[in-house]
Chain A
Amino acid sequence: MHFLECRKVTKHFGGLTALMEVNLHVNEGEIVGLIGANGAGKTTLFNLISGVYPPSSGAIRFDGQDISGLKTHDICRKGLVRTFQIVKPFGNMTVLENVIVGELFGVHRDKTLVKAREDAIKTLEFTGLYEKRDTLGKELTIADRKRLEVARSLATNPRLLLLDEVLAGLTSTETAEAMKLLKKIRDEMGLTIFMVEHVMKAVMGLSDRIIVLHNGEKIAEGTAEEVAENPVVIEAYLGEKIKT
Chain B
Amino acid sequence: MISSRKKKYIPAIGIPALLIFLSILPFFVTDYIVSLLLDILTWVALTESWIILSGFTGYISLGHSAFFGIGAYVMAISWMSLPYPLIILISATSSMALAFAIGFPVLRVRGPYFVILTLGLSEFAKYIFINYEVNVKGTVGRILLGVPPIKTLYFSLLVIAFFTILCAYLIQRSRFGYGLFSIREDEDAAESLGIDTGIFKWLAFGISAFFPGAVGSVMALRRTYIDPYSVFDPIVSFQIIVMAFLGGMGKLHGPVLGACILTLISEFLWARYPHYYMIILGVVLVVIVKYLPSGILEIVGKLETAIRFLRTRMGCIF
Please list the residues of chain A having a beta carbon within 8 angstroms of any beta carbon in chain B: 50, 52, 71-73, 76-77, 81-82, 84, 88-94, 97, 100-102, 104-107, 109, 113, 116, 134, 137, 152-153, 155-156
Contacts and interface: CB of A to CB of B under 8 A. Distances in A.
A76 B192 contact: yes
Given A97-B178, A100-B178, A105 B194 contact: yes
Given A77-B194, A81-B193, A109-B194, A101 B188 contact: no
Interface of B: 1, 173-175, 178-179, 181-182, 184-186, 188-197, 250
Given A97-B178, A104-B175, A104-B178, A137 B185 contact: yes
A97 to B, nearest CB: 7
A76 B197 CA distance: 13
A152 to B, nearest CB: 7
A156 B179 CA distance: 14
14 contacts: A72-B192, A73-B194, A84-B188, A88-B189, A90-B189, A91-B185, A93-B181, A101-B182, A101-B190, A102-B194, A104-B175, A104-B178, A106-B193, A116-B175
A90 B186 contact: yes
A-B residue pairs, 8 tightest by C-beta: A90-B185, A76-B194, A88-B189, A105-B194, A88-B186, A72-B191, A105-B195, A73-B196
Contacts of B179: 101, 104-105
A69 B154 CA distance: 53
A92 B191 CA distance: 17
Contacts of B184: 92
B-side interface mostly = helix
Nearest to B188: A88
Contacts of A73: 191-197
B193 A156 contact: yes
Contacts of A100: 178
B193 A102 contact: yes
A207 to B, nearest CB: 23
A114 to B, nearest CB: 11
Contacts of A134: 1
A109 B250 CA distance: 27
A137 B186 CA distance: 12
A123 to B, nearest CB: 13
Contacts of B174: 113
Contacts of A84: 188-189, 192
A50 B192 CA distance: 8
Contacts of B196: 71, 73
Q: Pick from A88, A109, A153 the residue with the most CB of B within 10 Å.
A: A88
